[in-house]
Structure 1
Amino acid sequence: MKDRIGFIDFLRGFALLGILVVNLPYFSKPMYLVASLGENSTLLDSIASWIVAFFFESKFYVLFSFLFGYGFFIQLENNPETNSRSRYFRRIFGLGILGLLHGIFLFIGDILLSYAILGALLWFLRNRTSSWLFKLSLVCLTVAVFCRIGMSLAEVEFKSQLEANLPRLLEESRKAYLGGFWESNLQRTKDTILSIPFLVFYQWPTVLSMFALGFYAAKNSIFTDWEKTKPGFKKIFPWALVLGILGNLVYTLHSRHILPENPNVFLKILYAISDTFSAPALTFCYVYLLGNYYHSGRSFADRIWFETMGKFSLTCYLGESLVCTWIFCGWGLGYFDQIGSYIVLLLTVPIWIFWGAFSLIWKSNFSLGPMEWILRSWTYWKKIKIV
């Protein structure tokens, strides 16, 4: 098997921070309040919510999905031992089980189960040509536009039903998450089930698009020679930056209720198109800027931190959820629905640093993270050496 690409692990470590920023509000308060009109009561909380919307929301699951596709292609291409149907689908099944447990015991917005379901399709894409994969990525983004238009058109009916039941739903959520261990798990299971339509129609088409794009990038060795890749990226960067800034500005103004509520059909279509394409555009800008930074002398001090977190990304992702659940649930510190968006945003830093430090300490003794070891042992159907 070829050596790991350090920049890919670096990007995973960076993505873990962004994912935590987006996920943390869903740990800290009822999911019905996140990005709602009455979510914030102070200017600082509102500003924090705007920062999350503009710089983080929809950008980091896009990045992680791209890296997932890239990483899976490298595994299939460069490691003959894993390039077997039984091992591949056993790994996918194991990932799905971890995602299911994650959604029940830790976080309502689990993405691992979605990755497992959609990742099963990657096996059938492994021998497709680069042009076919790129076209598939564009087709999936087009499907994402129509899915988001459909969700937007159905939004009025959904909002009316939610408003009628909101007091009861909020009370049930607060009581359950501030209750015992099993009460919070039962409520989380209910919330996870309720979030399935959002995951399927809002995230799945974009996730599959990024899987295909990741396969395309890996097949063409995009990140093995940055100096060769950089000129092409540099040409795209100004256009992606304009689209990313303008599109995400519109997204932020709309999603945080600064623009007028209940826009007409034309504006709903415009918002859906903008949202679908501007998030990957800004994500591309992140990758380009980080690529330049990583391949410069300035990054040497930071590489080991980000790369180690990226190498243990499954452990860190689940570990972040464990800490967040402990902070906010009643069986832990019990801060559910008691902290504003501003403090929640600041809280991401110490949690992310904790798991970065954990990764460095763990790496000094073991070659695999604990969750990576479990998944790999399941994949190979034998106990893998962790030292």
Structure 2
Amino acid sequence: MKNRIGFIDFLRGFALLGILVVNLPYFSKPMFIVASLGENSTLLDSVGSWIVAFFFESKFYVLFSFLFGYGFFIQLENNTEANSKSRYFRRILGLGILGLLHGVFLFIGDILLSYSILGALLWFLRNKSSSWLLKLSLLCLVIAVFCRIGMSLAEVELKSQLTANLPRLLEETRKAYLGGFWESNVQRTKDTILSIPFLVFYQWPTVFSMFCLGFYAAKNSLFTDWERIKPGFKKYFPWALLFGILGNLVYTLYSRHILPENPSIFLKIIYAISDTFSAPALTFCYVYLLGNYYNSGRSFADRIWFEAMGKFSLTCYLGESLVCTWIFCGWGLGYFDQLGSYIVLLLTVPIWIFFGAFSLAWKRYFNLGPMEWILRSWTYWKIIKIF
């Protein structure tokens, strides 16, 4: 891609670590007990779950969505040919197909299909003004608040239904994922379908908000000159950090059942607002701190590692899912529902290092990752050179 920005790839490589941390619990145990009251039996496991909630949950799909919007604007800007529209939607379709296969064969929490559906709308935003994009981004966050309030109000009824059927669901899930390849795929398809309401009402408004914000950032050439934007980021950093810490602390206490259950409607509204806005606030802080690090002399040894993973982010994302599925499913090592939250959190480190090393080795010989090559060849409707 022309005009490739090293810091954007650096952020993608960093985001892959956070996404892996959040996704791994859903590979390792039934989705019904992730973040539930009875999930952890030891203090170490609880601490591991709290770390995931405070530092990672909701922050990294926000960052990845922002980068997705940023990258797609650059692609549209560089692709001015007459058939650019057909290429764009062919890429979107290819991404959706990969997402569908990912959700069936590898991971119930696939985000690629959602990106494909919502990404199709980005074509119609390509000529919108910067102020229009910012307003739409804020509007989507407001919509996200109302969606989360609605989900919170329906939570009591959903929990009562789940509690009544939980023993049966857990038994079926464990048997399927510890069974053969076909049994695990059938169960994963069922779980993926069950997760659709969560994706649509909890994630989609925020995802599209970040798409618009990424479009805005690319349209105004942010991150091409860090020294130019650093003063503005520095001005808002203390406030974003304060709000991000407080808001995510509330989120962690509530989502991990440390605060009282069944709060009043007023508190549910406060939680929804805090959850919706504090995650992007803390993500902003991550970007600011990483930007300072990347543009300092201290980062030179790490740049190539993160940038390589960021360049091959699609391959690494799907590859991480393949490795995790192999570790936990019965057709692989069969560790499903046998590892505590603390061990699962530690497991992210070797997996992420493996794909970092893979990316560095692959980059020495190839310009595109395997999945990037497939998607780009599909997009251009011809075999693209991988070297």
Q: TM-score, normalised by structure 1?
A: 0.99
- 1:352 alignment partner in structure 2: 352
Q: Deviations over 1:64-91 (max 9, x none)?
A: 0000000000111123249711000000
Superposed displacement of residue 2, structure 1: 3.5
State the SS of the aligned residue for 1:176: helix
CA contact (8 A) 1:69 1:211 kept: yes
Match in the other structure for 1:252:
252
Instruction: Give ranges in structure 2 of 5+ residues lacking alignment.
Output: none
Match for 1:356: what amino acid? Answer: G
Cα contact 1:82–1:88 (8 A) shared by 2: no
Distance 1:47 1:102, change over 3 A: same
Q: Which amino acid aligns with 2:236?
A: I
Please name the residue that 2:341 is paired with. Answer: 341
Match of 2:65 in 1: 65
Determine the C-alpha separation between the residues in 2 that align with 1:99 and 1:81: 27
Corresponding residue for residue 23 of structure 1: 23
> Which amino acid is the alignment partner of residue 305 of structure 2?
W
2:57 is aligned with 1:52: no
Correspondence for 1:225: 225
In structure 1, what residue type is equivalent to 2:362? Answer: W
Give, in whole Å, the separation in 1 of the partners of 2:368 and 2:207: 26
Local SS of the residue matching 1:259:
coil
Q: How does 1:292-311 map to 2 (within 5 A)?
A: 292-311=292-311
Match of 2:270?
Answer: 270
In the other structure, the counterpart of 2:156 is 156
Distance in 1 separating the partners of 2:164 and 2:146: 28
* Counterpart in the other structure of 2:77: 77
Indicate the SS of the match to 1:330. Answer: coil
8 Å Cα contact 1:140/1:209 also seen in 2? yes
- Percent identity, please: 89
Determine the C-alpha separation between the residues in 1 that align with 2:307 and 2:81: 25
Q: Is the 8 A contact 1:9 1:306 kept in 2?
A: yes
Letter in 1 for 2:127: N
Amino acid at match of 1:345: L
Distance 1:181 1:33, change over 3 A: same
Total equivalences in the alignment: 387
Matched, 1:118 2:154: no
Please name the residue that 2:363 is paired with.
Answer: 363
What is the rounded CA distance, in whole Å, between the counterparts of 1:17 and 1:74 in structure 2? 24
- Return the alpha-carbon distance in structure 2 between the equivalents of residues 159 and 165 of structure 1: 10
* Alignment RMSD: 0.8
Q: Which residue of structure 2 aligns with residue 210 of structure 1? A: 210
Paired residues of 1:10 and 1:307 also in contact (CA < 8 A): yes
One-letter identity of the residue aligned with 1:187: Q
Q: Deviations over 1:41-96 (max 9, x none)?
A: 00000000000000000000000000000000011112324971100000000000
Aligned twin of 1:140: 140
Q: Distance in 2 between matches of 1:159 and 1:208?
A: 28
